[in-house]
Amino acid sequence: LLLFLEALLAACGAAERQPLDYKRTAAEYKDAAIALLTGYVGHGDLPPHEVIGMLPESWPLHGLAPYLAKCARMCLHQRRAGMLEESLSSMAYLKTFGAWASERTRKVTITTERACPRCNRRFVDKDAVSKAFVAYPNGTCVHLQCKDDLSICPRTGRCFADNLSVFCNALGP
C-alpha cells in the first residue's frame, strides 16, 4: 500500500508539472490518494508518521481532515486498548498473588495426639519422628500409604479433583 501511495503522489506531482502527459488531472490523483489513506487508516502498511512525511506540503489540511481524524481516533483507541490490557494483566497478577498468599497461610498442625482416620495410627511416633502424610483441602490428613486416591478424601469421600487451582481463576469472581 505504501508503494501504491508513493505512485499516486508521484503521479499527482507530475500531473501538476506536466498536465498534458497524463490522462487524469492532479486533483484526481490527489483524491485517489486521500481515498486510499482514508480507506486504509490503521493498516500496518500505512503508518501515519511515514504517510504524513510523504505528503506534499502544498496540500491543505482541510483536504486531509478525514484521514487525520481517523488516524487520531485509531491511535487513541490503540493506546486505550493497551492501557486496558495492562490493567487487566495487573489485576490478574494481583488476584493470583493474593490467592497464592492466602493459600500459603493455610497450615496443617500435626500433634502427637493426631491420628490417621484410616488406620488410626498416630502421625508422630514416640521418638517424635513424623511419617509422610497427605493433607486434603478440608483439613483431613492421612498417611501416604493409607490414601487410595489423592483427589478423594478418605474420611468424607469428597472429591477434590474437580476443584480448579486458585491460580487458574485469576479473573473469576
pLDDT at 111 (0 to 100): 83
pLDDT at 76 (0 to 100): 94
pLDDT at 129 (0 to 100): 63
What element of type H or E holds 105? Answer: helix 61-105
143 forms beta bridges with 133
Give one word for 109, left, alpha or beta, with left for phi > 0 and alpha for psi -120 to 50.
beta
Q: Are 133 and 123 in contact (CB under 8 A)?
A: yes
pLDDT-flagged residues of the chain (< 70): 127-130, 162-173
pLDDT at 163 (0 to 100): 61
